[in-house]
Protein backbone atom coordinates (compact mmCIF):
# COMPACT_ATOMS: atom_id res chain seq x y z
CA UNK A 1 0.00 0.00 0.00
CA UNK A 2 1.37 3.39 -1.05
CA UNK A 3 0.96 5.71 1.93
CA UNK A 4 1.97 8.83 0.02
CA UNK A 5 -1.14 9.40 -2.09
CA UNK A 6 -3.32 12.35 -1.13
CA UNK A 7 -6.39 14.24 -2.23
CA UNK A 8 -6.47 17.98 -1.50
CA UNK A 9 -9.72 19.92 -1.84
CA UNK A 10 -9.79 23.56 -2.87
CA UNK A 11 -6.44 23.05 -4.59
CA UNK A 12 -6.88 25.50 -7.46
CA UNK A 13 -5.56 28.50 -5.57
CA UNK A 14 -4.51 29.92 -2.24
CA UNK A 15 -3.61 27.66 0.65
CA UNK A 16 -4.89 24.52 -1.08
CA UNK A 17 -2.55 25.07 -4.00
CA UNK A 18 0.38 25.65 -1.64
CA UNK A 19 -0.42 22.44 0.24
CA UNK A 20 -0.69 20.44 -2.98
CA UNK A 21 2.62 21.80 -4.24
CA UNK A 22 4.38 21.03 -0.96
CA UNK A 23 3.06 17.49 -0.84
CA UNK A 24 4.04 16.86 -4.44
CA UNK A 25 7.53 18.25 -3.83
CA UNK A 26 7.82 15.88 -0.87
CA UNK A 27 7.23 12.89 -3.15
CA UNK A 28 3.48 12.46 -2.82
CA UNK A 29 1.11 11.64 -5.64
CA UNK A 30 -1.58 14.28 -5.36
CA UNK A 31 -5.15 14.52 -6.62
CA UNK A 32 -6.01 18.20 -6.82
CA UNK A 33 -9.75 18.73 -6.44
CA UNK A 34 -11.68 21.94 -6.92
CA UNK A 35 -15.01 23.22 -8.18
CA UNK A 36 -13.04 25.10 -10.89
CA UNK A 37 -11.74 22.25 -13.04
CA UNK A 38 -10.03 24.49 -15.60
CA UNK A 39 -7.99 26.32 -12.98
CA UNK A 40 -7.08 23.25 -10.95
CA UNK A 41 -6.09 21.42 -14.15
CA UNK A 42 -3.61 24.19 -14.90
CA UNK A 43 -2.10 23.85 -11.44
CA UNK A 44 -1.83 20.09 -11.85
CA UNK A 45 -0.16 20.47 -15.24
CA UNK A 46 2.37 22.87 -13.77
CA UNK A 47 3.35 20.20 -11.25
CA UNK A 48 3.62 17.28 -13.66
CA UNK A 49 2.70 17.70 -17.31
CA UNK A 50 2.82 13.93 -17.80
CA UNK A 51 0.09 13.39 -15.22
CA UNK A 52 1.92 10.42 -13.69
CA UNK A 53 2.01 11.90 -10.19
CA UNK A 54 -0.89 14.36 -10.26
CA UNK A 55 -4.50 14.40 -11.34
CA UNK A 56 -7.12 17.15 -11.45
CA UNK A 57 -10.68 16.48 -10.36
CA UNK A 58 -13.86 18.55 -10.48
CA UNK A 59 -15.38 18.45 -7.01
CA UNK A 60 -18.16 20.45 -5.40
CA UNK A 61 -17.75 19.86 -1.66
CA UNK A 62 -21.48 20.31 -1.14
CA UNK A 63 -22.21 17.11 -3.06
CA UNK A 64 -21.58 13.66 -1.58
CA UNK A 65 -21.60 11.98 -5.03
CA UNK A 66 -18.65 14.19 -6.00
CA UNK A 67 -16.61 12.84 -3.10
CA UNK A 68 -17.53 9.26 -3.97
CA UNK A 69 -16.50 9.87 -7.59
CA UNK A 70 -13.21 11.46 -6.49
CA UNK A 71 -12.46 8.56 -4.16
CA UNK A 72 -13.18 6.10 -6.96
CA UNK A 73 -11.03 8.03 -9.44
CA UNK A 74 -8.00 7.93 -7.15
CA UNK A 75 -8.51 4.20 -6.59
CA UNK A 76 -8.65 3.54 -10.32
CA UNK A 77 -5.53 5.63 -11.06
CA UNK A 78 -3.28 4.86 -8.09
CA UNK A 79 -4.96 2.19 -5.98
CA UNK A 80 -6.57 4.58 -3.50
CA UNK A 81 -5.77 7.62 -1.40
CA UNK A 82 -4.00 7.33 1.93
CA UNK A 83 -4.53 10.93 3.01
CA UNK A 84 -7.26 13.54 2.66
CA UNK A 85 -6.76 17.26 3.18
CA UNK A 86 -10.04 19.11 3.67
CA UNK A 87 -8.96 22.58 2.68
CA UNK A 88 -11.83 23.86 0.53
CA UNK A 89 -13.64 26.75 2.15
CA UNK A 90 -15.04 30.20 1.65
CA UNK A 91 -14.63 33.17 3.96
CA UNK A 92 -17.16 35.97 3.87
CA UNK A 93 -17.30 39.20 5.81
CA UNK A 94 -20.79 40.22 6.92
CA UNK A 95 -22.42 42.08 9.77
CA UNK A 96 -23.97 39.61 12.20
CA UNK A 97 -27.52 40.93 12.01
CA UNK A 98 -27.41 41.24 8.22
CA UNK A 99 -26.60 37.60 7.42
CA UNK A 100 -29.53 36.05 5.59
CA UNK A 101 -30.65 32.45 6.11
CA UNK A 102 -29.56 31.72 2.53
CA UNK A 103 -26.09 33.17 3.13
CA UNK A 104 -25.73 31.19 6.35
CA UNK A 105 -26.72 27.96 4.59
CA UNK A 106 -24.34 28.61 1.69
CA UNK A 107 -21.29 29.33 3.86
CA UNK A 108 -21.91 26.43 6.25
CA UNK A 109 -22.53 24.08 3.32
CA UNK A 110 -19.10 24.82 1.87
CA UNK A 111 -17.10 25.03 5.09
CA UNK A 112 -18.84 22.55 7.39
CA UNK A 113 -21.02 20.20 5.37
CA UNK A 114 -18.21 19.74 2.87
CA UNK A 115 -15.83 18.61 5.62
CA UNK A 116 -18.48 16.25 7.02
CA UNK A 117 -19.12 14.64 3.64
CA UNK A 118 -15.42 14.27 2.88
CA UNK A 119 -14.66 12.68 6.26
CA UNK A 120 -17.64 10.37 5.87
CA UNK A 121 -16.76 9.14 2.37
CA UNK A 122 -12.98 8.93 2.69
CA UNK A 123 -13.12 7.90 6.33
CA UNK A 124 -15.20 4.84 5.41
CA UNK A 125 -12.78 3.85 2.64
CA UNK A 126 -9.76 4.40 4.87
CA UNK A 127 -11.31 2.34 7.66
CA UNK A 128 -12.00 -0.52 5.24
CA UNK A 129 -8.31 -0.52 4.29
CA UNK A 130 -7.12 -0.14 7.87
CA UNK A 131 -5.14 3.04 7.28
CA UNK A 132 -5.71 6.71 6.57
CA UNK A 133 -4.82 10.27 7.47
CA UNK A 134 -7.36 13.10 7.43
CA UNK A 135 -6.31 16.71 7.98
CA UNK A 136 -9.03 19.34 8.28
CA UNK A 137 -8.19 22.99 7.74
CA UNK A 138 -10.15 24.87 10.38
CA UNK A 139 -9.55 28.49 11.39
CA UNK A 140 -8.77 30.79 14.27
CA UNK A 141 -12.26 32.19 13.63
CA UNK A 142 -13.72 28.90 14.82
CA UNK A 143 -11.93 29.31 18.14
CA UNK A 144 -12.35 32.98 18.99
CA UNK A 145 -15.63 33.69 17.22
CA UNK A 146 -13.98 35.57 14.39
CA UNK A 147 -13.00 39.22 14.38
CA UNK A 148 -12.54 39.82 10.67
CA UNK A 149 -15.00 37.30 9.25
CA UNK A 150 -18.72 36.66 9.35
CA UNK A 151 -20.47 34.69 12.07
CA UNK A 152 -21.50 32.05 9.53
CA UNK A 153 -17.87 31.36 8.69
CA UNK A 154 -16.78 31.33 12.33
CA UNK A 155 -19.61 28.97 13.28
CA UNK A 156 -18.80 26.63 10.41
CA UNK A 157 -15.11 26.46 11.32
CA UNK A 158 -16.01 25.84 14.95
CA UNK A 159 -18.06 22.95 13.68
CA UNK A 160 -15.07 21.63 11.73
CA UNK A 161 -13.12 21.41 14.99
CA UNK A 162 -15.93 19.42 16.60
CA UNK A 163 -16.26 17.12 13.59
CA UNK A 164 -12.53 16.48 13.79
CA UNK A 165 -12.96 15.07 17.30
CA UNK A 166 -16.06 13.07 16.39
CA UNK A 167 -14.47 11.39 13.38
CA UNK A 168 -11.19 10.88 15.23
CA UNK A 169 -12.97 8.95 17.94
CA UNK A 170 -15.01 6.94 15.44
CA UNK A 171 -12.09 5.95 13.20
CA UNK A 172 -9.19 5.58 15.64
CA UNK A 173 -9.49 1.82 16.07
CA UNK A 174 -9.42 1.38 12.28
CA UNK A 175 -5.98 2.92 11.82
CA UNK A 176 -7.34 6.27 10.66
CA UNK A 177 -6.30 9.54 12.27
CA UNK A 178 -8.23 12.80 11.99
CA UNK A 179 -6.64 16.10 12.98
CA UNK A 180 -7.14 19.80 12.35
CA UNK A 181 -5.00 22.86 11.77
CA UNK A 182 -6.36 26.27 12.75
CA UNK A 183 -4.45 29.03 10.97
CA UNK A 184 -4.70 32.69 11.84
CA UNK A 185 -4.39 35.38 9.13
CA UNK A 186 -2.10 34.12 6.37
CA UNK A 187 0.09 35.91 3.86
CA UNK A 188 -1.95 34.97 0.81
CA UNK A 189 -3.06 37.03 -2.20
CA UNK A 190 -6.72 36.52 -1.31
CA UNK A 191 -6.14 38.14 2.09
CA UNK A 192 -4.60 41.21 0.49
CA UNK A 193 -7.42 41.31 -2.06
CA UNK A 194 -10.31 41.33 0.41
CA UNK A 195 -8.76 43.35 3.24
CA UNK A 196 -7.98 47.04 2.55
CA UNK A 197 -4.33 47.94 3.06
CA UNK A 198 -5.00 50.16 6.07
CA UNK A 199 -7.10 47.53 7.80
CA UNK A 200 -4.54 44.84 7.01
CA UNK A 201 -1.79 46.94 8.58
CA UNK A 202 -3.91 47.33 11.71
CA UNK A 203 -4.60 43.60 11.75
CA UNK A 204 -0.90 42.80 11.58
CA UNK A 205 -0.18 45.17 14.46
CA UNK A 206 -2.71 43.28 16.57
CA UNK A 207 -0.91 39.97 15.98
CA UNK A 208 1.55 39.33 18.83
CA UNK A 209 4.32 38.25 16.42
CA UNK A 210 3.55 41.26 14.17
CA UNK A 211 3.35 39.29 10.93
CA UNK A 212 0.96 37.26 8.83
CA UNK A 213 1.32 33.48 8.89
CA UNK A 214 3.41 31.70 6.28
CA UNK A 215 1.23 29.40 4.10
CA UNK A 216 4.12 27.05 3.39
CA UNK A 217 4.46 26.38 7.11
CA UNK A 218 0.80 25.36 7.21
CA UNK A 219 1.62 22.99 4.36
CA UNK A 220 4.53 21.61 6.39
CA UNK A 221 2.13 20.97 9.27
CA UNK A 222 -0.18 19.11 6.89
CA UNK A 223 2.73 16.90 5.83
CA UNK A 224 3.53 16.20 9.47
CA UNK A 225 -0.02 15.10 10.32
CA UNK A 226 -0.38 13.14 7.06
CA UNK A 227 2.78 11.12 7.58
CA UNK A 228 2.70 7.39 8.42
CA UNK A 229 4.57 8.22 11.63
CA UNK A 230 1.68 10.37 12.91
CA UNK A 231 -0.34 7.43 14.18
CA UNK A 232 -0.46 8.66 17.79
CA UNK A 233 -1.80 12.07 16.83
CA UNK A 234 -5.56 12.12 16.44
CA UNK A 235 -8.36 14.44 17.48
CA UNK A 236 -5.78 17.20 17.82
CA UNK A 237 -5.71 20.78 16.58
CA UNK A 238 -2.52 22.65 15.73
CA UNK A 239 -2.91 26.36 16.50
CA UNK A 240 -0.79 28.44 14.13
CA UNK A 241 -2.00 32.00 14.60
CA UNK A 242 0.89 34.23 15.62
CA UNK A 243 -0.20 34.22 19.25
CA UNK A 244 -3.73 35.55 18.69
CA UNK A 245 -5.23 32.56 20.47
CA UNK A 246 -3.40 30.67 23.20
CA UNK A 247 -4.58 27.82 25.42
The string of DSSP letters for the chain reads --S-EEEEESTTSHHHHHHHHHHHHTT-EEEEEES-HHHHHHHHHHH-TT-SSEEEEE--TT-HHHHHHHHHHHHHHHS--SEEEE---------GGG--HHHHHHHHIIIIIHHHHHHHHHHHHHHHHT-EEEEEE--THHHH--SSS-HHHHHHHHHHHHHHHHHHHHHGGGTEEEEEEEE-SB--HHHHHHS-HHHHHHHHHHSTTSS-B-HHHHHHHHHHHHSGGGTT--S-EEEESTTSS--
CA distance 44 to 11: 9
Distances (CA, A) of 218 to 19, 153, 202, 215: 8, 20, 23, 5
- 153 counts as catalytic: yes
Selecting among 153, 186, 212, 222, the annotated active-site residue is 153
CATH class, 5-240 region = alpha beta
Domain ranges of the chain: 5-240
CA distance 170 to 129: 15
Per-residue confidence at 193, pLDDT binned at 50, 70, 90? confident
On average, the pLDDT of the chain sits at: 96
Model confidence over 83-134: pLDDT tens digits?
A: 999 999 998 888 999 999 999 999 999 999 999 999 999 999 999 999 999 9
Q: Which of 67-76, 186-195, 227-236 has the lowest mean pLDDT?
A: 186-195
Per-residue pLDDT, averaged over 31-53, amounts to 98
Amino acid sequence: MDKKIALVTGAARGLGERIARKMHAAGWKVALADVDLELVSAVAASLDASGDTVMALALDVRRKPDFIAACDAVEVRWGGAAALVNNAGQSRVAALMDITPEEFDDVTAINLKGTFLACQVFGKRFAERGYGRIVNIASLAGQNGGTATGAHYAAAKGGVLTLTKVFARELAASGVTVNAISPGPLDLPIVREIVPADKLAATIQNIPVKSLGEPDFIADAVLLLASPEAGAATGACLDINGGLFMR
